Amino acid sequence: MNKKQFVLIMTDTQRLDMVSCYEDKGIKTPCLDALAADGIKFNKAYTAQPVCGPARSAIFTGQFPCINGSYTNSVAPGLNVPTIGRRLSDKGIHTAYIGKWHLDGGDYFGLGTAPEGWDASVWYDMRNYLEELTEEDRRKSRQPTVMEQEGITAEFTFAHRCANRAINFIRDHADEDYFLVVSFDEPHDPSLCPEPYASMYREFELPKRPNIYDTLENKPTHQQVWAGPRRFQDREALRLNAWALFGCNSFVDHEIGRVIDALNAQAQPPAVLYTTDHGDMLQSHCLYAKGPAAYEEICHVPFLLWGFGQGEVETPVSHIDIAPTLWDFFDCGEKPMMLQGESLLPLLKGEQPASRDVFIEFGRYEADHDGFGGFQPMRCIFDGRYKLVLNLLSEDELYDLQTDPYEMDNRLEDPLLRTVRDELLARLLAHMNQVRDPLRGYYWERRPWNTDANAATWDYTGFTRQRSEPDYEKSQLDYNTGLVPEELVRKKF
């Protein structure tokens, strides 16, 4: 009897040029390369928000961060937002989670307890890992200098312990339907890794992308503030030598390979999806880490699907599509309204749309921190070539990635692209209305450059857009009648 088994493997902070099957810049990932060679490689996959918690919230709830409530780190999704783990568990699928969660609403490490729907006996997050360590070893686990001072073993790392647990689960549950998540924190800092990885890239320099020399003259003000003094550094003298990050990147590839080997040992290997939550700017556009921008370095993510044949997909896809894909894979029936992406399985059957938009957003980096630019609302639409970015508190952006793949030239007010820009804006506003974006309103349309904007009105569209989750909530009621409404989207008087 065939079993329905699906394994989602993810990392944290992995750029495309840190995965050599996408861009071979000298950082080696042989295990992921093998996965790509034997599977399907998506060439235009995007995060829903380039920050850890919000990115994960989109993956595991199937709702955009602004909708599920986790629009920033340190804020959990709403109580009325079931995870895909709970949805599948309620359909009789064994759901298990091993690794970084970052959706508890608390600190970086989590609470050490399984949310509803996930197998509590399997659950293992970063809090559980730290609680296995002595106080001294906890400190070491957060200090990259330990690699130079005394070195570490693979067995000490979070990645190795997660892989061990995943291998055991795969072996022990070979005869049942399951959905397993293996979520590595690596290569995110402190980027701890054993030899030979710890010294593998000591003398390595990541080749400079042309946008290393973009000093943001024609870019949004908030990006200039973010860059700070980096704008005035000698960009020629800059060395991109994040040796610990790159070494840990190859180390986590090795640990992923151990999990894949365990899957291959099964008579019927499970389906696998690999991705990461976001990338890292690494000084492109004079910026660092991640934050309120839609640049390729932090939003364009590796995305490999294994077990569905071989090939490459050029159609844009998003993390928001993962939950509906799982729903479809496990034959759960009609997709719930609040799974806001689309299943990717039709793409694998050659049913590719001529074009497809993906949407990226930003709210805040972290609720607990005053820094990182604070509240920086951003909404973005990308159609596979053109990318329109609306920065509500700053200036907007438009890029043609076919002629300008490094996003150097902001062509927002280029008359040659006015029609393209205006059509993207119309589709972005329609998307915000359709998904019930809580920040939707006239101000996104009335940008300084949009001379055709409708007049500002307090009622905006005049519609109310209620949600529907019949399996998890009582039906919404009409404000005017107190009865179940005939239509969820309707004029509100």
Query: Tens of pLDDT along the chain (493 residues)?
Result: 589 999 999 999 999 999 999 999 999 999 999 999 999 999 999 999 999 999 999 999 999 999 999 999 999 999 999 999 999 999 999 999 999 999 999 889 999 999 999 999 999 999 999 999 999 999 999 999 999 999 999 999 999 999 999 999 999 999 999 999 999 999 999 999 999 999 999 999 999 999 999 999 999 999 999 999 999 999 999 999 999 999 999 999 999 999 999 999 999 999 999 999 999 999 999 999 999 999 999 999 999 999 999 999 999 999 999 999 999 999 999 999 999 999 999 999 887 776 799 999 999 999 998 999 999 999 999 999 999 999 999 999 999 999 999 999 999 999 999 999 999 999 999 999 999 999 999 999 999 999 999 999 999 999 999 999 999 999 999 988 999 999 999 987 6
Q: Cis link prior to 324 (omega < 30° from 0)?
A: no
Spatial contact of 272 and 305, defined as CB atoms under 8 Å apart: yes
Catalytic annotation present for 102? yes
Residues 6+ apart with CB under 8 A from 476: 466, 467, 468, 484, 485, 488
Quote the CA–CA distance of 445 and 452 in Å, as a whole number. 9
Write b or e for each residue in 262-278: b if 16 or more Cβ atoms lie within 10 A of its Cβ, otherwise e: bbeeeeebbbbbbbbbb
Pairing relation of β-strands 45-46 and 317-318?
A: parallel
What gap in Å lies between CA 278 and CA 188, rounded to an integer?
Answer: 10
Q: CA torsion angle for 24, 25, 31, 35 (degrees, to 10)?
A: -30
Outline where 62-125 has alpha helix (H).
65-68, 84-89
Angle at 341 between CA 433 and CA 68, to 5 degrees: 65
Q: Does domain 363-491 have CATH number 3.30.1120.10?
A: yes
Residue 432 to residues 225, 316, 426, 453, Cα–Cα distance (Å): 28, 18, 10, 16
Q: Write down the domain spans for the chain.
A: 5-348, 363-491
Q: Which residues contact 90 (CB under 8 A, 6 or more apart)?
A: 117, 471
With DSSP H G I counted as helix, E B as strand and the rest as coil, what are the percentages for the chain, rounded to 5?
30, 15, 50
Instruction: Exactly one of 31, 52, 162, 332 is catalytic; name it.
Output: 52
* Architecture of the domain delimited by 5-348: 3-Layer(aba) Sandwich (3.40)
Backbone angles phi, psi at 337, to 5 degrees: -55, -40
Coil, helix or strand at residue 455 = coil
What distances in angstroms separate CA 448 from CA 270, 335, 430, 453, one per listed residue?
51, 39, 19, 9
Same topology, domains 5-348 and 363-491? Answer is no
Return the structure tokens found at 349.
């059957």
CA-closest candidate to residue 197, choices 255, 133, 125: 255
Q: Is the dihedral of CA 450, 455, 456, 460 positive or negative?
A: negative
In 3D space, the residue among 133, 238, 232 whose CA is nearest the CA of residue 192 turns out to be 133
222 assigned to active site: no
What are the φ and ψ backbone dihedral angles of 283, each rounded to 5 degrees?
Answer: 80, 0
The two structure tokens encoding residue 397: 């952006």
Token pair for 288: 């660092």
Yes or no: say if 362 and 220 are a contact pair by the CB < 8 Å rule: no
Catalytic residue among 31, 66, 102, 319: 102
**Assessment of whether the complete model's pTM goes beyond 0.95:** yes
